[in-house]
Chain A
Amino acid sequence: FSDPASNLGLEDIIRKALMGNLEERQD
């Protein structure tokens, strides 16, 4: 069970929650 976060769907939630901020940085 090397990547529990991905198995939980956590990565998706994290990426979406971070995205707005990261897009802001790229602008």
Chain B
Amino acid sequence: NRMHLVCPMNTSPHVDPQKSGHEVWEEFSHSFTPAVREVVEFAKKIPGFRDLSQHDQVSLLKAGTFEVLVVRFASLFDVKDRTVTFLGGKKYSIDTLRAMGAGDLLNSMFDFSEKLMNLGLSEEEMSLFTAVVLVSADRSGIENVNSVEALQETLIRALRSLITKNHPNESAIFTKLLLKLPDLRSLNNMHSEQLLAFKVH
């Protein structure tokens, strides 16, 4: 019944069997907190984000942090080597993680990361795409949908303009990027289900 945490936001998937569930959770939380803070700092730098209401800033971050982290840490999933690098720096093979209990979410994360990395986006393009991921007017609990929608449209226009300028002969890249948004939603839902299972256990 040895437990493992197969999320790469941990330093390692191995869990000390002497620790209580609460202690394990605290340690996990301690691992991902700096990454979450970085997402908040990133959001603050999106032009117009700070002009949204405090409620909507929090709602967007609550709903979108996981998706932003998936984009930012896509490079942790090495499709060629079939490994995942955890925050502690150690790599684990897909087979090892499967033996530890990882399931469909791991496969889906690999698929997503591979497709995203294959687009060969620059840092600036990736950053703007990440802003588009975060500022989505259809997240639950948004008070001022019009304001979020206006910012979302501005960001999407900026992304299209940047991609068109940088990849004049690859017009499909922008479409492919927008199609990543529902993929991220799907990963977010799968991840929430895994968290529920973890909390229940």
Contacts and interface: CB of A to CB of B under 8 A. Distances in A.
Nearest to A5: B62
Interface of A: 1, 3-11, 13-15, 17-18, 21-22, 25
Given A18-B54, A18-B58, A25-B50, A13 B195 contact: no
Interface of B: 29, 33, 36-37, 40-41, 44, 50, 54, 57-58, 61-63, 65-66, 191-193, 195-196, 199
A1 B195 contact: yes
21 contacts: A1-B192, A1-B195, A1-B196, A4-B191, A4-B192, A5-B62, A5-B63, A5-B65, A7-B199, A9-B29, A10-B36, A10-B65, A11-B58, A11-B62, A13-B40, A14-B40, A17-B36, A17-B37, A18-B57, A21-B44, A22-B54
B65 A14 contact: yes
Interface of A, helix, strand, loop or mixed by DSSP: helix
Contacts of A17: 36-37, 40-41
Contacts of B65: 5, 10, 14
B112 to A, nearest CB: 18
